[in-house]
Structures are given as C-alpha cells and as structure tokens.
Structure 1
C-alpha cells in the first residue's frame, strides 16, 4: 500500500453530467513528474508557488499569471519549482468533449488547435479557467458548469491555438518504429528485452533507442510504461480491482502500478478511482 505523503496532496474528480472532463486540485511541495503523456488536453493554472515543465526540449515555469497547456499525446515532464511549492488546478479534456466543443465554438468542423507554447502569460484566461474549475468542483448548476467550461476553452483556442505543425516527411525509421509500437501495444504485459525490440525494427540496440525517442519523444521503457498505465487506468474506470488492473496491464504488482501512476499523474490509483464517483 502506498504511504501517505503530507507534502504532496491531490484530489481528482470527474463530472457525472459532462462526459470527458476531469479535474485535479493539487498542493505539492516536492513532487517531480516523470516523462509521460496524457490522452487528454491538459490545462493547468497555478494558484500559489510555481511549477516547471519541459516539453519538446523547452523548459518553462508556470506562475499564477500564466496558463499551462499540454497537447494530447505530447510527452512532457516537470514538477515543483521553488521553495513555496506548487498549488494548482488542472482540467483534463478528453476527445469526447473536445470534438463537440470545437464544432460548437466555431460553428463548423475544423482541426483542433495546436499549442506551440506550454506556458502562456494570460491572467484573464487564467481567471476564466479557475472559475470553470471551481464551478465543476463545487457541482454548481449544469448550465453554469457547461457555460464556464466552454467559455474557458473558447478563450484558450481563440487566443493561443495554432494550426497543427506540418507532419515531417516519413523517414526510413518511422515504419519500423511504428511496427515496434504496435507490437508493444499488442502484448503490453510481455517482458520485452531491448534486443527483441531492436531486432523487430531491424536496427542495432543503440540505433533503435535513438530512433525510438526521436519518433515518439520517449524511451522504449517509458513508452511501454505509458501503454501499461493507460490500460490500467481504463480497467480501473471499468470497475476492475487495483491488483487485477495492475497484473492485466503488465505491472509486477499493485505497488508497482501505484508508484508509476503517481509519478505520471500526481495521484495514486486509489485516488483516481475515488474521483470517478
């Protein structure tokens, strides 16, 4: 069982009426996030102290005057920046909410905006996001929650969204790396060796590690851990027990899952399940 850490506290919730949105309220003093990705769009507002993030090799610091935003599927890492700790609120907006919201906001089907900067200075937008988060947290009337959430997304999309960067031309390494990724997804619980994966890609282990990170943004080990975390999270959301979810996803045991879950998401699996309602 994970030990209670009074220095790093977080509560996760979902909204029973607005599918596809999760919210986290966190007060961290020492927490450091391992490199990871989220399937959702993540929007974070610092209320006290500061938080550091590293995305696409660029380091930035979030303060109460800024908004932090992470594109779905984009690797990032970070943690507390400074002696005051980091108190923040974050919204996790999934595709089930993002795509309909996009159509309602713009009145036509468009490509979802891409955010080139992970930290933007915009106090007015920060206030909009905090108000929307508070309404969701306090379970205010549904109309209020939906209106404030849509308003915050409209502000973020309109002020800071950009067209997605053009896809680079596929290199010779992309296809073999995708083959390896598919293999890992098909058998996430397998105890893969570096030699097995490199052989599948037709590369030396050294070349494979460099190519894999260049294509995915993560090392092979971290990518496999992320696949397993996503599987465990889905299983927990469907009602699976913690031990069963851990083993099915390929973790050694419950404590192994808990350790990686908290390093990536800032909460334990138990807190995550409690927030699902």
Structure 2
C-alpha cells in the first residue's frame, strides 16, 4: 500500500485512449490501494501507437491475438506473440512505439519505482537497480505465474483479496524483477538473512488462501514451506512482519467482511471463514477492526 498509485498510471492514461476502438477493464488496484495496478484490454482492430516516456514500470502480457512488433530504438523490429511464459518489461524513462496487425487482447501491470527500490533492499542490494531494457518478449515462467495469480486474485468476485495479501504478492513480483531482470542481477540475490524465500512465501500465501475455511496450523504451513515449524515461524515473520497466525487471521477477517455484505447468519460466516465459533469470530473481528461483525454489517447496510 505504500507504493500504490494515487491516480491512473500515466501509460494507461495515454495509451488506451490512443488505441482505436479500445476496450478495457479499467485500471484495477488504484482505488483499492494495491501496490501493483493492472488493466486488461482489447484492441479489436489492432493498433499503431506511440507512448511517450513515463515514470513508472510497466509489464505487458499478450493473452490473445497475432504477434505484435516494437518499432523504436535498438529493439525496432523485435516481435513476439502469445506464449505462456512471455512478457515485455518497460523500465520507464523513454518513448516507445508498438504495432499490432489485428484483434489483440492483453494486459498491463504497473509498478511504482519505489516498490522496485524496496524489493532491492529486501534482496540485500544497496544500489538502485536498473531494470533491463532488453526484456522485450523475454521469458520467465515464474514471473508469469506470479502475474497471472495476481490478476486472478484481483478480479475474484467471490473472495475479495486483502490489502495485506495483494501487497505481499506485489513485493514478490518486484523482487523477481530485481532478482532476474535488473542490470547485474544474473540470478536472485540472497534474501534478507533469515527471511522466507520468495518462492516459499508465495507457496505459503497460496496455501492460506486455499485452506481459509479449514484449520491452518503452524505445522501445516511449515510443511508447505519444507521447514521445521519454529524455523518457519521466524522466517515468515522476518519476510512479512507478521506472525503466521496473525496473517491467517487477517485473511479470514477480510473474507468475512465480504460475506457480511450478504444475508448469511454470522455463525455461518464464522464457520465458513475458519473460526471455531460465533464468539471466537466476534472476539477476533473486534480486536482487528474495533467493532463487532454485527455492527460492521449495519454500517455496510447504511453505506
């Protein structure tokens, strides 16, 4: 949330209106305050568009359609199409021109430069990393998986993600960029001493999401990470600033907030979100939000 865009990122504001008959989801993540914003778009008749320099990072993905081509600078003539592990990285700071010959569907992910700097610090770098300009139709299956999961969580209509979850996912994406796609990286640098690795952290976050309505014990999460439970608890807190128990509780409460907008009983919601009882749910909810589930529901109804 510290690096969330306060307004529509410059590239979205400039490029989408310039594409003939463009259709888009609108930029998701700005109003929500997430550290990575994204837009899903379609250009039914293709495009030939020039984009002036902007001061943020953009990752572009081609989801459907014919190959399109870069038409500027040293990468003029480089083209690529839909591939499961492909992406285009724009570090910001220079003009670009792109041509797509036909109906094209894709998405953009926008990252603030402050998030990139934070990722570098998490990886133990003391310099300001320069993301590589040659990542034009580059390949990174792990990065694509992170981006795909980020979008799926961001548009999930049933279980809305928490800011804690999305910001953690955003930091992992930025760490992947710095670790593999910055000048002088060569490979992922060592994480902060004692912290859970980005790969293990992502596995644990995904497991919490899948098991939110079940018992999520320290032993179970440690098993996902492949660590002993005491080692895991220390490494998780070092990586996130939260204990595993508090992270799970916050995720349960975020799921419950969404459910409280409906008509299910509070006891039903409590059990569906993994709380042992109505009382257990109410105690945890009041501790984290300062109000009870019943009052939260009344406030939502008045809004």
Q: Give the TM-score taking structure 1 as reference length.
A: 0.49
Q: Give the TM-score taking structure 2 as reference length.
A: 0.46
**Greater C-alpha Rg:** 2
More strand by proportion, 1 or 2? 1
Higher relative contact order, structure no. (Cα contacts within 8 Å, ≥ 6 residues apart): 1
